[in-house]
Amino acid sequence: MTDTTRTRSKQVEVENELQTHPGESQWRYAWRSFRRHRLAMAAGVVLVILILGAIFAPWLTPYDYARQNRSNMFGSPSLRVAADAQTIDKCARPQVLWWRCGAHPFGTDDLGRDILTRVLHGGRVSLLVGFSAAFISTLLGSLIGAIAGYWGRAVDAFASRLIEIMLSIPQLPLLLILVGLLANPGVRFGAMLTGVLGDSKNIVIIIVVIILLSWMSTARLVRGQIIALRERDFVEAARAIGASRMRIVFRHLLPNVASVIIVQATLMTGEAILIESGLSFLGLGIQPPAVSWGNMLSRAQGFLYYPNGVYTALFPGLFILLTVLCVNFVGDGLRDALDPRYHGRA
């Protein structure tokens, strides 16, 4: 029994080993490997659908996300259209594909607004924050980690100490303090930001704060990788021909670490989305009348006891779950595909 179990898993592993094609680039191989990871592919497709849905949200629904209809608050989810919906619902357009004005597939919220429409629009904010925060944070972290790893000594000591201090401060409270400060008109800096950014101040603040608090993990990771790669032959060779340090870092080291960075960026996106929704839920993130999944949930808490009130909570949360889940599956698949050491482990 024991032997067969062991050999079976070994066998399966051997079977799953993807054969490399002659002359194939690392990326081609990675793509083929990714394609074989069914869950990740499916998740990727769903993610693309979500992203497209968010981008084209204004054109995909018959409703305006802010248009209230106070005679139809807490409507039940249904695909059927109410009697004289056209006049009541003041739609932006009468029909989009099969979706007619007056039908509310996810129901309506506490001010009569269509929930599906708001979920789609909320996705724009949440996805924007998630992707940009993750992307920039990973870039920043990679840069700092690479410089710290390659320069070594004093620079490394300083960077490592900085990372340690930042990681020791309780993350969530620091987030709260920073957002509270920057969004507060009474603080001089906050008032200045309002002047410069206007309406989009909140989104920018959240993105900046998330970046400030999440670059550390990427930095550590990249630093470790750089240190490991530092003594390798090709780096030695580059140094021998007199390449500058910056050039070595950017042209030789970072590309080798690229796969790790990509995976990190993907996984960070999920985290950033969760942080943004958590902040908005606490009331510090995106402020109404702008809509994000987090602030939809924040309002929904008080309506659980209302008939149909649960739908205002159910759907935004479900979409957060779906998005983050897909991002995580895709990230996992990428890790499988790009980093041969993880093959079969994850």
Partner 1 sequence: MATYLVRRVLQLIPTLFVISLLLFGLLAMKPGDPIDEMRRGNPGFTQADYDRLREFYGLDKPWYVQYWRWLGRVVHGDFGTSRQFGRPAAEYVFKYRLPNTVLLSGLSLLLSFSVAVPAGVWSALRQRGFVDYTITVVSFVGVSIPIFWMGIMLIYIFAVQFRGFLPAGGLATPGVTGTWPILGDRLRHLLLPVLALSSLQVAQWTRFMRSSMLETIQLDFVVTARSKGLSERQVIFKHALRNAILPLITLMGLNVPALFSGAILTETVFNWPGMGRAIYDAILVNDFNVAMVSLMFISLLVLLFNLLTDIAYALVDPRIRYG
Partner 2 sequence: MRYRMSVVVLGILLAAGLAVLGGPASNNLVIGASQEPSNLCPWEGAADTKENLMGIFNVGLTYIDSSGVLQPGLATEIPTESNGRLVVVRDATGQVTRQQVVWTIREDAYWSDGVPITSDDAIFTFKVQNTQEMMVTTRAFSNLVEEIVKIDDKTFRITYGTPNLFYSSVGGSIGLARFYDIAPKHIWGPVYDQVMAQIAAKPENASTIIEGQFLGAPSSTGTGAVVGSGAFKFVEWQINQFIRFARRADFFLAAPGPASNYLQEITVRYIVAQPTLLSGIMAGEIEACDDISLAGMEPAVLRAQLGSQAVVEVTASGFIEKLNFNLFPSCQVAADLLLGDKRTRQAIIQAIDRDDLARTVYPGATVSNSFLVDGDIGFDAALNPWPYNLAAARTLLADLGWADSDGDGTLERTVGGRAIEFRLHWVATTADFRIRTGEILQEMLADVGIKLEVENLPGSVVFSSEYLNHGSECTWRGIVEYAEAGGIGQAPADPLSNELWANDLLEVPVDAELENTPLPENSFGGTNIMGWVSAEFDQLRADALREFDPDKRSAIVKLMQQLYNEELPTVPLYDRSEIVVKMAGLVNYTKGTAAARTQFWNTWEWGWAQNGAVAVR
Does 278 bind partner 1 (CB under 8 A)? Our answer is: yes
Does 345 bind partner 1 (CB under 8 A)? Our answer is: yes
CB-wise, 253 or 268, nearer to partner 1? 268
- The interface with partner 2 within residues 197-236 (CB under 8 A) comprises none
Please name the amino acid found at residue 21: H
Does 346 bind partner 1 (CB under 8 A)? Our answer is: yes
- In sequence order, which residues have a C-beta less than 8 Å from that of residue 189 and are 6 or more positions away? 181, 182
266 in Cβ contact with 327 (< 8 Å): yes
CB-wise, 172 or 246, nearer to partner 1? 172
For partner 2, what does the binding mask look like between residues 247 and 286, x meaning CB under 8 A? ------------------------------------x---
* Of 313, 330, 334, 338, the one binding partner 1 by CB under 8 A: 313
The terminus-to-terminus CA distance of the chain in angstroms comes to 25
Is the bond preceding 289 in cis, omega lying within 30 degrees of 0?
yes
CB-wise, 297 or 334, nearer to partner 1? 297
Contact of residue 181 among partner 1, partner 2, none (CB under 5-8 Å per partner type): partner 1
Contact of residue 288 among partner 1, partner 2, none (CB under 5-8 Å per partner type): partner 2
How far apart, in whole angstroms, are the C-alpha atoms of residue 210 and residue 273?
10
Write down the residue that tokens 């919220």 correspond to. Answer: 109
* Of 114, 156, 332, 336, the one binding partner 1 by CB under 8 A: 332
Does 2 bind partner 1 (CB under 8 A)? Our answer is: yes
Nearest to 271 by CA among 317, 211, 339, 184: 211
Write down the residue that tokens 């759907």 correspond to. Answer: 315
Does 58 bind partner 2 (CB under 8 A)? Our answer is: no
Between the CA of residue 170 and those of 176, 177, 178, 324, 339, what are the distances in Å? Answer: 10, 11, 12, 23, 32
* Of 173, 289, 341, 345, the one binding partner 2 by CB under 8 A: 289
Nearest to 272 by CA among 134, 135, 93: 134
Contacting range for partner 2; rule: CB under 8 A; set: 11-19, 153-161, 184-192, 269-277: 184-192
Contacting range for partner 1; rule: CB under 8 A; set: 98-106, 180-188, 198-206, 232-240: 180-188
Contact of residue 70 among partner 2, partner 1, none (CB under 5-8 Å per partner type): partner 2
Please name the amino acid found at residue 98: W
Backbone angles phi, psi at 271, to 5 degrees: -65, -45
SS3 100: strand
327 in Cβ contact with 274 (< 8 Å): no
- The interface with partner 1 within residues 20-39 (CB under 8 A) comprises 39
Contacting positions for partner 2 (CB under 8 A): 66-68, 70, 73, 110-111, 184-186, 283, 287-289, 299, 301-302, 304-307
